[in-house]
Amino acid sequence: MTKPPIASFRSVSKHYGTHYALCAFDLDLREGELLTLLGPSGCGKTTVLRLLAGFETPDSGEILLDGRTLAGVPPEARNVNTVFQSYALFPHLSVFENVAFGLRMRKLGGAEIRDRTESALRMVRLEGLGGRRPLQLSGGQQQRVALARALVNRPRVLLLDECLSALDYRLRHDMQLELKELQRQTGITFVFVTHDREEALSISDRVAVMRDGRIEQLGRPRDIYERPANLFVAQFAGESNVLEATVTAKPGPDALTVSVAGTPVTVQTDRNFVIGEKIALVLRPEDLHAHDDATGRGGLAGRVLERTYRGVTLDTLIALDAGPRIKACEFFREDAPTLDHPPGQRVRVGWTPGWEIVLPHDAET
């Protein structure tokens, strides 16, 4: 049983001057999901939110909420709320009144306003701080007020535009967890916008990776990271070593032998390639391990350029004999004393067969 989408973009285009911010954009939002729009600056993420919120109108195409067109429906009648990066709180009003503002505008009764405002403040763990002014709160607390102010309206869809970007690293991680929890508790559909891949992967039910006004791939975080649709998605979703290679043989179903600058490597893929075709071999740093040249066999030969101690991991930058530099990122293990390879040492770089990502060679990226 599939529920109808809570909101849909159907072939929506939007341009500014001669530039298309969105181009025949399609998206179905599922009820109760946390969907993230992930993409570089300028790819159209904010435009998607502004169109759904009603601050912009599409040039063509249609946007639906609960099966009804939003054409001609003003922002205040849409039951969609937005939380921005800049908290946009009223500095002269108390926290309570900031949160209650929307309800007062809707002329609800005093008791209902109090109950709903207090409940929203509890949800974001600000109970007891309703009497303060926004500037008497920390950045993280102000962001929570902005969240409460949106949640108090019980929107059908909550839009969050880079809303954690202004917070420092620790707080940002805490807030990511809180947001996710809040989303589960309330069951409200969240559309979250970020250009931070870790943030996108860690909080989302689904991620839409965008480029130039289009969705390149829409899927669960794990699919995006482990089964990227193309090189752009692979590189945007995570740190990647990309090696150019040429298909030399097809030893079996789903297996290819490729040549990485003369070194034969067997890889697995369910995509179709022809012999002689150029491919991109994508290797995640955490999937790679380097071992001493003398002891190792297979893999790709190279020389250690640099090591970076990072506490949890040891990162090794290796210049492959095949040309490119690649990075291996290894966890410390008591039983792997040979992890630490000094600069200059010859090593072979290997990985668990099948963990490589094989993609068509893309001249653009």
Question: Which of these ranges, 8-16, 44-52, 54-62, 282-290, lies near Mg ion under the rule CB under 5 A?
Answer: 44-52
Q: How far is the CB of 355 from ligand ADP (least distance, A)?
A: 31
Measured between alpha carbons, how far is residue 85 from residues 139, 142, 159, 237 in Å?
11, 11, 11, 22
46 binds Mg ion (CB under 5 A): yes
Q: Does 46 bind ligand ADP (CB under 6 A)?
A: yes
Taking CB under 6 A as the rule, does residue 44 contact ligand ADP?
yes
Residue 360 partner contact from Mg ion, ligand ADP, none using kind-dependent CB cut-offs of 5 to 8 Å: none
Q: E strands, 240-285, where?
A: 241-252, 255-260, 263-268, 278-283
Nearer to Mg ion, 46 or 189 (CB): 46
Minimum separation from the CB atom of position 106 to ligand ADP (A): 29
Instruction: Choose one: 34-42, 244-252, 265-273, 346-354; the region binding ligand ADP (CB under 6 A).
Output: 34-42
- Minimum distance of ligand ADP from residue 216's CB (angstroms): 13
Query: What distance in Å separates the CA atoms of residue 351 and residue 290, rounded to the nearest whole number?
Result: 9
Contact partners, residue 90, CB within 8 Å, separation at least 6: 97, 98, 101, 134
Task: Report the residue from 4, 11, 16, 325 that binds ligand ADP according to the rule CB under 6 A.
Answer: 16
Nearest CA to 360 among 247, 218, 240, 266?
A: 247
Residue 43 binds ligand ADP (CB under 6 A): yes
Query: Looking at residue 209, what DSSP letter applies?
Result: E
Residue 126, binding choice from ligand ADP, Mg ion, none, Cβ under 5 to 8 Å by partner class = none
Tell me the pairing of strands 19-29 and 7-16: antiparallel
User: Taking the CB of residue 31, how many other CB atoms lie within 10 A of it?
Assistant: 15
Q: Is 284 in the site for ligand ADP (CB under 6 A)?
A: no
Cα–Cα distance for residue pair 275/312, rounded to 1 Å = 41
Residues forming the site for Mg ion (CB under 5 A): 46
> Which residues in this chain contact ligand ADP in the complex, by CB under 6 A?
16, 19, 21, 39, 41-47
